[in-house]
A and B are shown apart, each in its own frame.
Chain A
């Protein structure tokens, strides 16, 4: 999608010269080539989604009780996105844009129509041909979904209409102005969030004994009821209106406040002042959030506590990897090795079932040993790779991760690690005789995880602002310059490995006490990759970002072996993680909540290019890195 953006961005001369005042364009004055391209991409995308079997697999999960299942949502989300993209116009520096109008709506509708013709073809194809041999989801079930369990012709005709309608909606978002578009997006995402969070909300309302709320919100077969959907939309619209009113009110007092959070990506000055305006709210949050986090689990049921405990484990892992990747800028693809060291050392030391060596020491003692061993592993893996080029280092660390898994699995060391059978019977955690943390009591596990998360967040935060933290960031930004400034780069990098390893071992240690057993297959390479996606999605080098990334991704999609809120995603999880990683790298490499410094570094090239293009002072160019700005982004 954005290759065209990149191309047009790269060639400033290619844009048409336009009149200075925004002129209105006629409805059919379209860029037909771009439209056909978008339609084709959409068609391929829709047919691909259908053939992956997502509509069939997700159809079980109702989002809005009688009308919308997750399966249909899988086929509905792409047309508006493409419709929106078609209507988006590249506005180059120094050129005037056309006014937004009905043309964008028409473009969106046409792209959606063209794209969903792909689904029509698919419906006709499934009725007439059978290629089930290679394509497993080319099935009557898929046909049933695509024709709404009615007739073939209905399906064949309705999909293009749906495409046109939703595509037009996407295109109309440029036209209706920022405020309306934002309201609409907010309403839709609130509804989606309410539907996804169903089990948590039901759980909470049971905890607080207000089942009436959840009974009213959700229908008997899961999914929001229509009335509840309407109320949620109304509330979201009201909230959005109130928010923009408050924004306008505060905007009158501080004119700079209109800076978008987007601009924070470039680490520009107005954005910083915009953030600095809210210390009071922030302070309140700082006081309120920990209290809520401590009290809330008491009111949550087993499932939600279990889910949160998994999220916590990944927060720990992601914080550890964040030190290596985010702060020190070393791409470690074998981070799972430290997770494995933590898990297996606790297992061997505490379990009576460990084959060779079973001292059965208490968990906290074993944790200490696990930390030592993980630190040692960090040293042993870190030292040899430290002098390698960044990309070689990535592959070598990946190799170390796999070597550790293969060794754990092998017959050679099965005397100690019990090979593929793993180590079982790992006892729970005795907390100084006060309580016992066991896997079948998710609440106790959650508190243990929260305790260690708090430690990890504190440690990361203090480290980030310490001498070694600054050394890491210096190394990340430019190693030779850092060395020239007197930073001991080698020891800084090794310290990053060791610190990250110790944080990762916490997670492994908790996992083995939580599950009660460890197996080599829990430490496959995909765990490293998922942690990497979490860190990158959240925002490399930013603690809040990393935590948010783990909550969103692990909470909703789930970890490699742990289910999330959308359990239906199980077999598509890694597909989505992969796509998300690519998308983040293309669109927003600095992550969801970027750390200002990291964003500056990642955008450096754009900034340089812009500075060259515009021949303006560098300070001006930093303000909106990117060179082109998308008008009317929702």
Chain B
């Protein structure tokens, strides 16, 4: 966006300093971490943090797998942000709450199934059922949201739908609070082969399941977007809504479908949250929503493959970042700062590379 002919102002210098400084902090933290790995008495590592404890290989692997599992969940949520931004050019802030609605649906249905005993006897069937139900509820939520809150705002200044979506977000959150109460809803126990570490590569089975489910959903989405007529229409609308409508595409219908698909992906992600964390309350959607948005930005907003990759990046950064960057720098209690790290990643990415790592794909009128 910056023109070379433009004079560099103080703000530009400040931004450059900030970019360099943030990257330098990351580099320093990482260097201290590596130095410590090589030799725990290394003077640089001692200087950075006198009482640092280095990670063992097992811990490291555990963190990476956790990061990947969470990251694939973020990636699925990010698809919703990315697709809507690609088509309509605004951030659907309430998408995180759609995800929460999915996780809630999952908690309620899986508990009902557990009460009747099916959850244990035929887990896979039950899980499929729960995923399908959650996708359904989330799709309905997303479509109703589009219809009631966003459709009347087509063509308004871009911040208007954004502000509306903030309202929708807090409305949905508190609807769930008012209807379902403020207690934590937990998922029933998972079967042993999912909680046991020994099933595969010393990694918890549930995390592998999460990655597998996310991968399946992603492949299905890829098929939908790349190989079907609806997908073609979606891409056309994302490319240029006006021209698409001239080509005989019902733009409103495609937008509804986009919301529906995004909602369905959020529904899958909600169940993945349930498998990973096993409990959900009405505020669950906020932080994963923000992190998923960061993922979409990191991957380049509007770029679906990028969103998934961005999700994995954010997930791994969030789980490794505090222990690899902050701990070696002598920050005490680094795991408390996990969420701050996620926000910091978003800010740094927007500072250093606002178009994302894999390039953004925006509607024609948003391109600059």
- Which residues of A from 392 to 407 have beta carbons under 8 Å from B? 392, 394-396, 398-400, 402-403, 406-407
Task: Find the B residue at minimum CB distance from A536.
Answer: B163
Size class of the contact patch on chain B:
35 or more
User: What chain A residues lie within 8 Å of B168 (beta carbons)?
Assistant: 578, 582
How far does the alpha carbon of A594 sit from the alpha carbon of B151 in the complex, in Å?
24
CB distance from A613 to the nearest CB of B (A): 14
How far does the alpha carbon of A386 sit from the alpha carbon of B173 in the complex, in Å?
30
Q: Kindly specify which of B38-46, B174-182, B235-243 makes contact with the partner chain.
A: B174-182
Task: Find the B residue at minimum CB distance from A381.
Answer: B347
CB–CB A410/B337 < 8 A: yes
CB distance from A472 to the nearest CB of B (A): 15
CB–CB A412/B167 < 8 A: no
User: What chain A residues lie within 8 Å of B161 (beta carbons)?
Assistant: 585
User: What chain B residues lie within 8 Å of A53 (beta carbons)?
Assistant: 178
Q: A383-B15, A400-B347, A574-B173 are in contact. Are A395 and B290 (CB under 8 A)?
A: yes
User: What chain B residues lie within 8 Å of A630 (beta carbons)?
Assistant: none
Q: Kindly specify which of A115-123, A132-140, A252-260, A359-367 makes contact with the partner chain.
A: A132-140
CB–CB A399/B343 < 8 A: yes
**Contact of A19 with B by CB under 8 A:** no
CB distance from A485 to the nearest CB of B (A): 16
Out of A48, A331, A395, A398, name the residue touching B163 (CB < 8 Å).
Answer: A331
**Contact of B25 with A by CB under 8 A:** no
SS class, residues of chain B in contact with chain A: helix
CB distance from A95 to the nearest CB of B (A): 22
Q: A399-B347, A572-B174, A582-B167 are in contact. Are A135 and B158 (CB under 8 A)?
A: no
CB–CB A605/B155 < 8 A: yes
Task: Find the B residue at minimum CB distance from A605.
Answer: B155
CB–CB A571/B160 < 8 A: no
How far does the alpha carbon of A383 sit from the alpha carbon of B9 in the complex, in Å?
11
CB–CB A529/B166 < 8 A: yes
How far does the alpha carbon of A137 sit from the alpha carbon of B178 in the complex, in Å?
8
User: What chain A residues lie within 8 Å of B178 (beta carbons)?
Assistant: 51-54, 137, 571-572, 575
CB-CB contacts of B152-193 with A at 8 A, as 1s and 0s? 110111111111101111111111011111000000000000
- Which residues of A from 493 to 535 have beta carbons under 8 Å from B? 494, 525-526, 529, 532-533
CB-CB contacts of A568-587 with B at 8 A, as 1s and 0s? 00011011011111100110
Find the residue from B160, B174, B175 having the highest chain A CB count within 10 A.
B174
User: What chain A residues lie within 8 Å of B334 (beta carbons)?
Assistant: 412
User: What chain A residues lie within 8 Å of B297 (beta carbons)?
Assistant: 392
CB–CB B354/A585 < 8 A: no
CB–CB A391/B179 < 8 A: no
Q: A387-B1, A392-B297, A585-B163 are in contact. Are A406 and B179 (CB under 8 A)?
A: no
Q: A403-B340, A412-B331, A589-B160 are in contact. Are A578 and B11 (CB under 8 A)?
A: no
How far does the alpha carbon of A429 sit from the alpha carbon of B337 in the complex, in Å?
35
Q: A52-B175, A529-B170 are in contact. Are A411 and B336 (CB under 8 A)?
A: yes
CB distance from A626 to the nearest CB of B (A): 12
With contacts defined as CB atoms under 8 Å apart, how many contacts are there between chain A and chain B in the complex?
175
CB–CB B162/A391 < 8 A: yes
CB distance from A536 to the nearest CB of B (A): 7
**Contact of A124 with B by CB under 8 A:** no
User: What chain B residues lie within 8 Å of A390 (beta carbons)?
Assistant: 158-159, 162
**Contact of A616 with B by CB under 8 A:** no
CB–CB A578/B347 < 8 A: no
Task: Find the B residue at minimum CB distance from A579.
Answer: B171
Task: Find the A residue at minimum CB distance from B91.
Answer: A391
Task: Find the B residue at minimum CB distance from A574.
Answer: B174
CB distance from B180 to the nearest CB of A (A): 6
User: What chain A residues lie within 8 Å of B351 (beta carbons)?
Assistant: 384
List 20 A-B residue pairs with CB atoms under 8 Å apart, sorted by A's residue number. A48-B179, A52-B178, A135-B179, A135-B180, A331-B163, A384-B15, A391-B159, A392-B354, A399-B343, A399-B344, A407-B340, A409-B336, A411-B332, A412-B336, A529-B170, A572-B174, A574-B173, A581-B170, A586-B149, A586-B152
Q: Residues on A close to B: CB < 8 A?
A: 2-3, 5-6, 48, 51-54, 133-137, 329, 331, 333, 383-384, 386-392, 394-396, 398-400, 402-403, 406-407, 409-412, 490, 494, 525-526, 529, 532-533, 536, 571-572, 574-575, 577-582, 585-586, 589, 601-602, 605
Among all A-B residue pairs, the 6 with the closest Cβ atoms: A581-B167, A578-B171, A411-B333, A578-B170, A399-B343, A575-B174
Q: Residues on B close to A: CB < 8 A?
A: 1-2, 9, 11, 14-15, 18, 90-91, 108, 111-112, 147-149, 151-153, 155-164, 166-175, 177-181, 286, 290, 293, 297, 331-334, 336-337, 339-340, 343-344, 346-347, 350-351, 354
